[in-house]
A = this chain, B = another copy of it.
């Protein structure tokens, strides 16, 4: 299926009467506040749908919302948790992503939202802490608190659908082979025993699945992608997707690498460095959190190219002058005809939250659509959005950007016109 976008004037903002809740972990973060502000600015007509991949998309001869039942942007009701209990306007001002006009116009909507107390564990993300913590001493008690939040949210807002999206800062990984993570039963026992192999991210993922709430992991943290939770999601028929939003450098990598392969230009080395200065950058200044991130960033090249790139180096450095304006520099060494060498340098001066927020919004819409379609378990067709796409069976995921895109469009088309 080929990509066709309509003129932006024709973007469908509203469609049908379905209301979908989006419960966000990290609601006060730069990505979440940008998403909330963006939805408000779209609603009041103060922003064009730039950066939203599905805005104006045509599927099966009509707007994707009309032919597939995908909810419009204004169907989304965003709430969530954060360790920092400031209201979202105050948070957004600190992040410095929105310009002053945008802060002004989205201000009332932002001020109206205050995060719920969050389930955190400073041991997993040392550089981001806060006092807005749920009073729950064990993993099980945290789960119960999160489930109660989800139920209350659904009831109070009369939601037709509900999706939980993890937009929190990166946690360090536990040992993925820890026994508590290997089966649903062991996980339940682990919750009761307050097993430290169960991370905060998993607490939220489990709570979502247990409540039948679609789950999206936009962070590099280990969460629904452990055997215990994959099995549970499949058993309960709950859609799960992740992990680690593919926004900047890795997106470019998965665009370029397939072309180098197609032209038989051998990648001898690929050096990638990133500098960023927002709260996520600060979180990654903790080596354990950084390690989680590097794992999800490192895997994409070899599977696209079909051979191991021995000199694939990825660096991330916290560098404050940039704030949210991340910069990614790539130096790529290619070998071409007759063994001769060439180089490509890519300098991507991007904005972390500006790239991430619209993807998180689209993921919420698409996960709700999967739920409407009754499709539970790992959502492979959403791999286009992630650096480390989940696969149900542990198989190697597709990383090539254009093939991921085709898979998504095909999935949308497959269910079009049939509701």
Contacts and interface: CB of A to CB of B under 8 A. Distances in A.
Given A3-B262, A5-B264, A333-B322, A349 B338 contact: no
Contacts of A340: 97, 99, 351, 354
Contacts of A225: none
A2 interface: yes
Contacts of A261: 3, 5
A23 interface: no
A339 B271 contact: no
A38 B343 contact: no
Given A256-B255, A319-B271, A320-B310, A53 B337 contact: no
A255 B253 CA distance: 11
Contacts of A97: 340
Nearest to A344: B348
A38 B337 CA distance: 8
Interface in A327-353: 327, 329, 331, 333, 335-340, 342-351
Contacts of A354: 336-338, 340, 342
Interface string A306-329: 100011010101011110000101
Contacts of A48: 339
Contacts of A56: 264
B320 A269 contact: yes
A357 B338 CA distance: 10
Contacts of A405: 262
Contacts of A99: 340
Contact of A49 (B34, B100, B264): B264
Contacts of A116: none
Nearest to A305: B5
Interface of A: 2-3, 5, 34, 37-38, 41, 47-53, 55-56, 97-100, 102, 251-252, 255-256, 258-259, 261-266, 268-269, 271, 273, 275, 306, 310-311, 313, 315, 317, 319-322, 327, 329, 331, 333, 335-340, 342-351, 354-355, 357-358, 401-403, 405
